[in-house]
Chain A
Amino acid sequence: MQMNRLKSPILIIAHKEICDSSRNRWLSFMGSIFLLLSLSVSFAGSAVTGSLYLPELDSLMSSLSTISVFIIPLAAILLCYDSFVGEEEAGTLLLLLSYPLTRSQIIFGKLLGHITVMLTATGLAFGLTAALLLLVGEQYNGAELVAAFAQFLLSSNLLALTFILLSYIVSLKCTEKAKAIGCLLLLWFLFVLIYDLLLLTLLVSDFSFANQFLINVLIAMSPTDLYRAINLVAIEGEGATGSLAMIATTDWGLPAMYGLFLLWIVSLTLISHRIFKRKPL
């Protein structure tokens, strides 16, 4: 699409972000990583058991979400960490603000561009995997497989959106790109590794105070655990083993968990907008 044909500043900024991501090979690189990951899990995941076979749909989705929970936030962080601090360092943020644009248009333009890039990378990689499974996996029900992958793609991109917005907040707050990436990697480490590990420890320790309500609250407080829970609840916890299966015991339904994800996204959008609005120039 020609940029000069676009009229909305949001679409113009989104288009530029997509151009930038495809030009610096982020799109092809992350798309390849996602593709390699999903193909390995789907077609070679059973190798650890000593034989090669296509896994059941439940365990396949469980494995994919278990690996994606690490990779997708990291990809979102790497895509967006310099969204604002980078433009500030280059002098283009001040220039953009001198244009007939509102700060909301700049944020939403970037958000639209970045989520389109994530959707393209994940959609192509996981879509191709689903198509191959449909072609070679006779045991799969076509409609079930498509529904499972669509649900997986939706939740993965909501997780990506959450980390894109977290990256914006950090990028708006930091004064150097190096500080922004450092802070975001720390956030990734806390959310994806530490919090997750502490939650699982709590689940298996069977403390008297750890009732279902507390566990639900703790799951809701971390987008990565919400993502895990959505994907485990979607497959009814059948594919999950060990402590992971306990996350699936949450008594929320899928709509409530998607609602919580949306709440995360709306809250982070409002916070990032507020920070941008008050950012000293």
Chain B
Amino acid sequence: MSVAIPQFGVNHNSRTENTMSELAIQLTDVSLSYQGFTALDCVSFDVAAGQTMALLGHNGAGKSSLIKIILGLIPPTSGSVQILGQNAQLSQARNSVCLGYLPEDASFYDKLTGYEVLRYFAALKGVTQRRVESLIEEFGLEYAQHRQLKTYSKGMKQRLGVAQAILSEPKVLLLDEPTVGLDPQASQFLYGKINQLKLAGCAVVISTHELSLVESHLDRALIMAKGKRVALGSCAELRSASTLKTCIDFSELSERVKTNAYLQQFYQDGLLQIAASQKSEIVQHLVSQCQIFDFDIKEPRLEDIYHDLMGQALCSSVEQL
């Protein structure tokens, strides 16, 4: 199966740029097969320090396998995995302190208190008690730190989970569905923390299905389907790769179109529908030629791009069968 969708982010220029800005994660042609099933098929990508990458894909797309490979927990069948410049498998123990991980829907030890749970994980990573106390304060769990975890709400548990993941001030942070089941305020709080870490130079990989939440916080997104890389790039690059159009609307659009042959070619369903690459040209035309300064530009959302790219990938895989 192969997917005929433009692949972004691994071109020569971006590779050179990333190498210069210190690659935290680098996967090259990684494949994983077991019992005749191909979980990952020649996946390549890299994440630089201070970059956030969203890992998107349907259930069973290979996201969790990819995270386990980055953690050094399972060896790839082929390909190479470099974490902070070292082989992920060979230096798993050494890298573990520099890696932060929040598993999906983790349920920590219910009988222990929040403070005890964090102290346990801190002790295993050789992190000081002062850091534990400061994280508890930072994540607003001071009032509940001596309560058993079974009394915690989902949001409190998730905050504790993220605090656990950043105990050792990691250089690579892997978050598996960090916002599932959280209210908007709690999700916002978590993304705020993630942005702070990113600014401090941490490479963050977020596996999520909540595309609307992650959209404004990511630098790049890797879309996967059936173990293959469907697309990789920034939101703008993914938008260009999709067949979705950017829509422009303003008052009296229908009237203006009648007298403007240039705009007429883009007019469809009451809107100007243009390719992402034509956006600046049209905007310039509207401002300079038509003297229109008040208009709405509706870019396709990440969710729409995702569905479009996934649709193309799945269609092409069906055609290949």
A209 within 8 A of B: no
Q: Does B308 contact A (CB under 8 A)?
A: no
Chain B residues contacting A198 (CB-CB under 8 Å) are none
* Cα distance A91–B106 in the bound complex, in angstroms: 5
User: Could you give, for residues 62-85 of chain B, a 1 whenever the CB lies within 8 Å of some chain A CB and a 0 otherwise?
Assistant: 000000100101100000000000
The interface stretch among A19-27, A42-50, A240-248, A256-264 is A19-27
Q: Does any Cβ of B come within 8 Å of A101's Cβ?
A: yes
Whether B73 contacts A16 by the Cβ 8 Å rule is no
CB < 8 Å neighbour of A91 from B96, B103, B112, B132: B103
Quick check: is A40 within 8 A (CB to CB) of the other chain? no
Contact A98/B124 with A4-B129, A92-B106 known, Cβ cut-off 8 Å = no
Q: Does B191 sit at the interface, judged by CB under 8 A?
A: no
A89 CA / B105 CA spacing, docked (Å): 10
Select the stretch in B114-122, B249-257, B279-287, B309-317 that faces chain A.
B114-122
Given contacts A92-B106, A92-B109, contact A100 B97 (CB under 8 A): yes
Q: How far is the CA of A220 from the CA of B204 in the complex (A)?
A: 55
A9 within 8 A of B: yes
> Bound complex: CA of A16 vs CA of B60, how far in Å?
34
Contact A24 B111, CB 8 Å, known A4-B129, A98-B96: yes
Q: Mark B110-144, 1 if CB is under 8 A from A, else 0.
A: 01100010011111111011001000000000000
Kindly provide the distance from the CB of A20 to the nearest chain B CB, expressed in whole angstroms: 6
A178 sits at the interface (CB 8 A): no
Does A6 make an interface contact (CB < 8 A)?
yes
Q: Please measure, in the bound complex, the distance between the C-alpha atom of A7 and the C-alpha atom of B109, giving whole angstroms.
A: 21
A249 to chain B, nearest CB (A): 47
Task: Verify if A147 is at the interface (C-beta below 8 Å from B).
Answer: no
B232 beta carbon closer than 8 Å to chain A: no
B99 is an interface residue with CB less than 8 A from chain A? yes
Q: How far is the CA of A281 from the CA of B71 in the complex (A)?
A: 12
Question: For the complex, what is the distance from the CA of A92 to the CA of B107, rounded to whole Å?
Answer: 7
A98 and B99 within 8 A (CB): yes
Name the interface size band of chain B: 20 to 34
Given A19-B116, A20-B109, A4-B128 contact (CB < 8 Å): yes
Known: A20-B109, A20-B112, A90-B107. Is A281-B124 also a contact (CB below 8 A)? no
Inter-chain contact A90/B112, CB cutoff 8 Å: no
The yes or no answer to A12 lying at the interface (CB within 8 A) is yes
Rounded to whole Å, the gap between the CB of B71 and the closest CB of chain A is 5
A131 CB–B CB distance under 8 Å: no
Taking the closest CB of chain A, its distance from the CB of B160, in whole angstroms, is: 12
Q: Are B108 and A92 in contact (CB under 8 A)?
A: yes
Contact of B93 among A7, A23, A100 (CB under 8 A): A100
- Chain A residues contacting B122 (CB-CB under 8 Å) are 4
A95 beta carbon closer than 8 Å to chain B: yes
User: In whole angstroms, how far apart are the Cα atoms of A19 and B116 in the complex?
Assistant: 9
In the complex the two chains form, is B96's CB within 8 Å of A20's CB?
no
**In the complex, what's the smallest C-beta–C-beta distance from A104 to chain B, in angstroms?**
12
A23 touches B111 (CB 8 A): yes
Q: Are A19 and B104 neighbours in the complex by a CB distance under 8 Å?
A: no
- What 0/1 pattern do residues 127 to 166 of B give for CB contact below 8 A with A? 0110010000000000000001000000000000000100
Residues of B within 8 A of A92 (CB): 103, 106-109
Chain A, range 229-281, C-beta contacts under 8 Å to B: 280-281
Is the Cβ of A20 less than 8 Å from the Cβ of B111? yes
B105 touches A98 (CB 8 A): no
- Residues of the A chain whose Cβ atoms lie less than 8 Å from the Cβ of B107: 89-92
Bound complex: CA of A90 vs CA of B103, how far in Å?
9
Task: State in angstroms the CA–CA spacing of A140 and B34 once bound together.
Answer: 65
B101 at the A interface (CB under 8 A): yes
Pairwise interchain contact B93-A4, C-beta atoms closer than 8 A: no
A94 interface hit (Cβ, 8 Å): yes
**A3 is contacted by which of B68, B120, B125, B148 (Cβ under 8 Å)?**
B120
Complex contact B116–A12 (CB within 8 A) = no
Query: 1/0 per position for A100-117, CB-CB distance to B under 8 A?
Result: 111000000000000000
**Nearest opposing residue in chain A for B148, CB measure:** A23
Q: Does A207 contact B (CB under 8 A)?
A: no
A sample of 26 inter-chain contacts (CB < 8 A) reads: A3-B119, A3-B123, A4-B123, A7-B126, A12-B123, A16-B109, A19-B112, A19-B116, A20-B112, A23-B111, A23-B112, A23-B148, A89-B107, A91-B105, A91-B106, A92-B108, A92-B109, A94-B68, A94-B73, A95-B101, A98-B71, A98-B96, A98-B101, A99-B96, A99-B121, A281-B74
**Residues on A close to B: CB < 8 A?**
2-4, 6-7, 9, 12-13, 16, 19-20, 23-24, 89-92, 94-102, 280-281
- Using A23-B111, A281-B73 as known contacts, list a sample of 15 further A-B pairs with CB atoms less than 8 Å apart, ordered by residue number in A: A3-B116, A3-B123, A4-B128, A16-B109, A16-B120, A23-B148, A24-B111, A89-B107, A92-B107, A95-B164, A96-B124, A98-B73, A98-B99, A280-B34, A281-B74
